[in-house]
Structure 1
Amino acid sequence: MSTESVSVPAAAPTDGLPQLRTYTATTEDDRVDGLRLIADSVAQQRQIASKMLIFHPLHLAGFALFIAILLQRFWKTNDDLYMLGPTIGGIVMACLVAVRWATGRYLTYAEETNWDWLGDDRMIVVRWGEEIIGALVLGWADEAAKKKQGRRKRGKAIVRAWTVRLKYRGKGVGEGLLEEAVKVAGERGADGIVFERDHANSKRILPSFYNSFMDQQEAKAEKALEKVADEKGNFRQRRSSPTWGSR
């Protein structure tokens, strides 16, 4: 009596992985997690600003020159190093404290990213398993003014915040958020979608020549939104329609 071997299909590589979902948050827990993620992204700007202060070429050159002068003036024998070592360490600590103080306002901005700031705007989130890993806040330009007019009128949707948890960046999560925002804006009859001028990560507390990295990141975000809007939205078709502006 012979038996036939039964082949078992190999499991797919993605079997067992958590599900990735992008959706509008409707529960308080999801909105809280999304808001917390946005506030964290604002606080993280403090680290970026601190690095810009510490590693700015002019600051490094000035610090090196100061230490060189200090050593030239006071280092006569090896015994002088016992005094110069703690002195230089104290100077470094003082500089770090100054950097911490100069960038501390970002923590205040993070604390202000709260329920009052969010209001009734739509929170779009990305969930990976049980974890919220991305969040976007979508509002509507001049919403209050349109309500006073007592009629529906097209306008632009505005992105008030857009962030992804650090370890998930560069994996398409942020683009998925933008695509969902464009979709929602289209469903609401928007004639365009842009970043709000005063969005969550737009604050700058240092002089402009320290902000080049953050400004470049913001420019990339604006280009990414424009690209998704052109590819996934139908805003241009609406503007060219004969009935555009009739509502």
Structure 2
Amino acid sequence: MATAAATMAVATHHPRARPRLRVCAAWDMNPGAATVAVPKPSKAKAKPPAIPTTPARPPPPTHADLFARSSEGQVDAGGVKKSTYMGFEKWWLPPPPEVKKPRSLYSAASLAYLGDCIYELYARRHFFFPPLSINEYNKRVMDVVKCESQDLLLNKLLGEDFLTEEERDILRWGRNIVSSKTRTRKRAGIAVYNRASSLETLIGYLYLTNFKRLEQLMFQLGFTSGASSQHIADELRSSFQ
């Protein structure tokens, strides 16, 4: 053992002895190693977040769009189309109070008082389009809200056999109204005034009990919601002459 160790020491320090070199190959130079691609930093600028745009508003409806009767609408359980106005179910009057039997709670004069207002509202809506001056509005409306005009329109309904037996009974009930409008009664006459009051009573009654029937009745009288003229007034004037 001592001889072998001495021999190695001599060999190591021998002037002709060469140092041993260790060659280490890098891992990426190994042909069997997989090459990993290092992602390069992107130079593209980040886009700013998209700003939500407000959808364009549709043009405002015209007078004809607002006042034209729409035939389109939803369908109820019975398969009947509901009349709509601006996307809502067509109910342009204030909802009436829930009264099942108006005759047991109100007098005929009370219903006529309500019906007078509703009748005039239909008249004002009828002449509202095309636009007119206030004086012309009042002139046209007054031609159809006075007793003589209401009496003629009631005779029109009776002549066309439009009213039901129940509605005729309401008319008979409304003819017995006692009013303090002596000047109106003197101008038109008691009979004409009573018949006009009975029509207002019927309108007030239908407003509380059957709005759909009220619409049919007023349409039968000639009141519309579309572009109108003096059709009702002209017809009444021809009857006066």
Band the TM-score falls in, shorter-chain normalisation: under 0.3
Report the TM-score when normalising by structure 1: 0.26
Which one has a larger percent strand, Structure 1 or Structure 2? 1
Which of these two proteins has the greater Rg computed from alpha carbons? 2
